[in-house]
């Protein structure tokens, strides 16, 4: 049983075999970001094993993307299934030649967990691609409304777009938030505002960024200030939408800004965004690439908001093991075929893995487990923060499952210390430690994590 495995580190990290393997890799593939080289055959459940034989409790989970543990038996069954063999061997151009099983694979997989009100799907291969496809749907909807239903494209539009010129290639914008991360394609990167290393030297669109609420913690001590902060941000969002140099066709927001430092906002703030986007006919896109699939203690992070009406589009990837967007309004399907299209339109093999992930989550009630375990974990971290108030600051994520983070003094040193004690942990933002355990993380794993934190902070 994975829960009974023990972490065990016997070399420095990365160890000599990891370093040798990374060096070998570096001749053909950039290996500068390698933490350590992994023996996936020996990794199991919550534990990742490196080539030096070190076993770590993994609360980083491949940048928050392993959903139900290494070598999960349900996933292994799916990987061995005849459907999977066919999907791998006979990769279809899904838009032209879908398989007879495709509709059922969607129905019994991803559509089982479709956000309320969003019963249609478009599949993709990465979070970045999913966001860009959502933007394209929003842009096409915007122009369709401006043009008028049923009005044909003009010759000027058709000709000018091939020159990347107006009116065919219009100036339209997507609004995003400071410190957000939405991917690294040229459109998604134009919405990403997290770090210079993500953006520097890459041409980008002149799209607006609104301030994201900078909440003060603990929340209960700063109720009024935080309300005022959120209200001010909403005012600025509406100002940007109405005053920007070109029409804002869509707004994209993460339920919790993840790469940007695990920044939260209240349900009221997001309801405010829903209201403003409704008022101004802006497509409201919720980027659940990192928050989706259960880690916040609800299947989708935005369920916490209890919106009066659903977002227009919800994008996903990472723990889904595939990617895409959900939507409800049939107008978000472009007016003609082949406008939202590409050769593969996702990968049925990965969509089949997603189906197995969903089966595992539902049958084992892992979202509820994550909510429960997260509450216990949060409590323990709150206690630890009282012992180390300088090293655990702005603890956040209460009631958000295991999606918990805190600011610290020297995040890289903390990560290094945790690795030496057998815990693989990640950071985000400038000085934030983010917890991203898998959905199979249990109460039994908490002492390892909290004990290692205690030990590292005691020595710092």
Query: Does the annotation count 181 as an active-site position?
Result: yes
Q: 341 an active-site residue?
A: no
Within residues 4-23, the interface with its own copies by CB under 8 A covers 21-22
Considering only residues 345 to 374 of the shown chain, the ones binding its own copies according to CB under 8 A are: 347, 349-350, 353
Retrieve residue 455's tokens. Answer: 């030990």
Regarding 142 and contact with its own copies (CB under 8 A), the answer is yes
Question: Is the Cβ of residue 24 or residue 368 nearer to its own copies in the bound state?
Answer: 24
Confirm or reject binding of residue 24 to its own copies (CB under 8 A): yes
Instruction: Choose which of 47, 139, 299, 305 interacts with its own copies (CB under 8 A).
Output: 139
Per CB under 8 A, does 243 bind its own copies? Answer: no
Residue 37 CB-half CA count within 13 A: 16
Angle at 415 between CA 414 and CA 417, to 5 degrees: 65
Nearer to its own copies (CB atom), residue 104 or residue 444 = 104
287 is catalytic: yes
Residue 337 engages its own copies in binding (rule: CB under 8 A): yes
Binding to its own copies (CB under 8 A) within 34-53 occurs at 34-41, 43, 48, 51
Question: Does 412 help bind its own copies (rule: CB under 8 A)?
Answer: no
- Catalytic: 343? yes
Q: Judged by CB under 8 A, does residue 96 bind its own copies? A: yes
> How far apart (Å, rounded) are the C-alpha atoms in residues 23 and 20?
5
Please give the residues from 180 up to 219 whose contact with its own copies meets the rule CB under 8 A: 183-188, 190, 193, 196-207, 209
User: Rounded CA gap, 227 and 223, in Å?
Assistant: 6
Q: What are the structure tokens assigned to 126, written together?
A: 């990465």
Q: Output the smallest distance, CB 100 to its own copies, in A.
A: 5
Q: Is 239 in the site for its own copies (CB under 8 A)?
A: no
| Segment 227-236 long-range contacts (CB within 8 Å, at least 24 positions apart) | 227/268, 230/265, 230/266, 230/268, 230/269, 230/272, 231/272, 233/265, 233/269, 234/269, 234/272, 234/273, 234/276, 236/210, 236/211
What is the β-pairing status of strands 423-424 and 55-58? Answer: parallel
Whichever of 103 and 362 has its CB closer to its own copies, that residue is 103
Task: Single out the residue of 5, 11, 53, 86 in contact with its own copies (rule: CB under 8 A).
Answer: 86
143-172 residues in contact with its own copies (CB under 8 A) are 143-144, 153, 157-159, 161-165, 168-172
Q: Which of 343, 383, 413, 443 binds its own copies (CB under 8 A)?
A: 343
Whether the CB-CB separation of 115 and 302 falls below 8 Å is answered with yes
* Binding range to its own copies, per CB under 8 A, among 94-102, 221-229, 268-276, 307-315: 94-102
The two beta strands, 173-177 and 55-58, are unpaired
Compute the half-sphere exposure of residue 338: CA atoms within 13 Å on the CB side of its CA. 1
Neighbouring C-beta atoms of residue 411, cutoff 10 Å: 20
Shortest Å distance, C-beta 162 to its own copies: 5
Residue 320 binds its own copies, judged by CB under 8 A: no
For residue 281, state whether it binds its own copies (rule: CB under 8 A): no
Distance CA 99, CA 428 (A): 41
The nearest distance, CB 412 to its own copies, in angstroms, is 13
- Phi, psi (degrees; rounded to nearest 5) at 180: -80, 160
The crossing angle, in degrees rounded to 10, of helices 73-80 and 348-363 is 150
Specify the residue, 129 or 391, whose C-beta has the smaller distance to its own copies: 129
Catalytic residue among 177, 181, 299, 326: 181
Contact between 72 and its own copies by CB under 8 A: the answer reads: yes
**Interface stretch with its own copies, choices 115-123, 367-375, 435-443, 448-456 (CB under 8 A):** 115-123
Q: List Cβ neighbours of 124 (8 Å cut-off, separation of 6 or more).
A: 130, 133, 317, 322, 323, 324, 325, 345, 346
As given in the structure block, the two tokens for residue 174 are 């997507």
> CA 315, CA 372: separation in Å to the nearest integer?
26
Q: Which of 226, 296, 298, 321 binds its own copies (CB under 8 A)?
A: 321
Q: What minimum distance in Å lies between the beta carbon of 99 and its own copies?
A: 5
Q: Among 128, 258, 369, 400, indicate the residue that binds its own copies (CB under 8 A).
A: 128
> Quick one: 4 or 28, whose CB is closer to its own copies?
28
Based on CB atoms, which residue is closest to its own copies, 165 or 413? 165
Cis peptide before 430 (omega within 30 of 0): no
Written as six digits, the tokens of 406 are: 């805190």
Query: How big is the site for its own copies, counted in residues (CB under 8 A)?
Result: 127
Residues involved in catalysis: 181, 287, 318, 343
């Amino acid at each position: 049983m994975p829960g009974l495995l023990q972490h065990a580190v016997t070399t420095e990290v990365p160890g000599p075999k990891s370093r040798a393997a990374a060096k070998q890799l570096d001749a053909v593939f950039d290996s500068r970001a390698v933490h350590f080289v992994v023996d996936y055959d020996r990794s199991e459940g919550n534990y990742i094993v490196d080539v030096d034989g070190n076993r770590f409790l993994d609360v980083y989970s491949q940048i928050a993307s392993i959903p139900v543990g290494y070598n999960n038996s349900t996933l292994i069954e799916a990987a061995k299934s005849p459907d999977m063999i066919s999907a791998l061997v006979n990769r279809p151009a899904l838009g032209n030649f879908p398989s007879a099983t495709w509709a059922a694979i969607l129905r019994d997989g991803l559509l089982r967990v479709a956000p309320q009100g969003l019963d249609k799907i478009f599949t993709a291969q990465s979070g970045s691609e999913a966001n860009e496809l959502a933007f394209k749907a929003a842009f096409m909807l915007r122009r369709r409304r401006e043009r008028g239903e049923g009005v044909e494209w003009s010759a000027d539009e058709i000709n000018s777009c091939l020159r990347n010129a107006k009116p065919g290639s219009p100036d339209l914008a997507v609004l995003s938030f400071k410190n957000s991360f939405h991917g690294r394609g040229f459109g998604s990167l134009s919405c990403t505002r997290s770090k210079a290393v993500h953006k520097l030297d890459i041409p980008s669109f002149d799209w607006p960024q609104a301030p994201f609420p900078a909440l003060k913690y603990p929340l209960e001590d700063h109720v009024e200030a935080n309300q005022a902060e959120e209200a001010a941000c909403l005012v600025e969002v509406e100002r940007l939408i109405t005053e920007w140099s070109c029409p804002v066709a869509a707004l994209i927001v993460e339920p919790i800004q993840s790469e940007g430092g695990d920044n939260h906002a209240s349900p009221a703030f997001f309801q405010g965004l829903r209201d403003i986007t409704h008022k101004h006919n802006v497509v409201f896109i919720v980027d659940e690439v990192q928050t989706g699939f259960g880690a916040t203690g609800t299947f989708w992070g935005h369920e916490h908001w209890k919106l009066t009406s659903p977002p227009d589009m919800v994008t996903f990837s990472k723990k889904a093991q595939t990617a895409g967007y959900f939507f409800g309004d049939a107008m978000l399907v472009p007016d003609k075929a082949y406008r939202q299209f590409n050769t593969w339109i996702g990968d049925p093999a990965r969509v089949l893995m997603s189906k197995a992930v969903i089966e595992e989550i539902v049958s084992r009630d892992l979202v509820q487990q994550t909510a429960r375990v997260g509450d216990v974990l949060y409590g323990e971290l709150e206690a630890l923060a009282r012992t180390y108030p300088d090293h655990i600051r702005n603890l956040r994520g209460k009631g958000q499952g295991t999606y918990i983070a805190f600011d610290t003094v020297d995040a890289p040193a903390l990560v290094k210390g945790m690795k030496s004690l057998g815990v693989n942990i990640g950071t985000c933002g400038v000085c934030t430690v983010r917890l991203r355990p898998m959905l199979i993380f249990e109460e039994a794993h908490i002492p390892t994590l909290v004990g290692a934190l205690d030990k590292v902070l005691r020595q710092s």
